[in-house]
């Protein structure tokens, strides 16, 4: 068994693809419209779906707002250097909401970025200890 993907519902598919591809460095792997269901699926990730877990962006054509709720947490992405990644994300217009630094009560270096729909993306260093 392996994890295939995580799905996020997005309100502006083009803006979300731009964020995950241009700001976060992923690639658009595939995209398909489903006119009868009135939705589009776009899959983005850092590698081919046969070998990597990816992110499915679902755009329901007639929905322009979602409630975040309080159960969902975040997506975590490993980056070589959390400080440098934050600088690069900010330079591309990304919204770093928790600057790079040690985890509260721990030693791992992390940061948080917010995507266009308000989903949180955690950046973690490969040498995390917590």
CA–CA gap between residue 77 and residue 94 (Å, rounded): 15
Give dist(CA 73, CA 120) in Å, integer. 7
Alpha carbon 76 to its chain centroid, in Å, reads 8
Active site residue 80: no
Catalytic residue among 18, 49, 78, 122: 122
Residue 48 to residue 26: CA distance in whole angstroms? 11
**Residues recognised as catalytic:** 122
């Amino acid at each position: 068994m392996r994890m295939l993907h995580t799905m996020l519902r997005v309100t502006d598919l083009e803006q979300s693809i731009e964020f995950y591809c241009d700001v976060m460095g992923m690639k658009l792997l595939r995209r398909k419209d489903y006119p009868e269901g009135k939705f589009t699926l776009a899959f983005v990730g850092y590698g081919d779906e046969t070998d990597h877990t990816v992110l499915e962006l679902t755009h329901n054509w007639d929905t322009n707002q979602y409630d975040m709720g309080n159960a969902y947490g975040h997506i975590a992405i490993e980056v070589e250097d959390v400080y440098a990644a934050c600088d690069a994300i900010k330079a591309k217009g990304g919204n770093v909401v928790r600057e790079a630094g040690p985890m509260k009560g721990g030693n791992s270096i992390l940061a948080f970025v917010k995507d266009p729909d308000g989903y949180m993306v955690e950046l973690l260093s490969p040498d995390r200890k917590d």
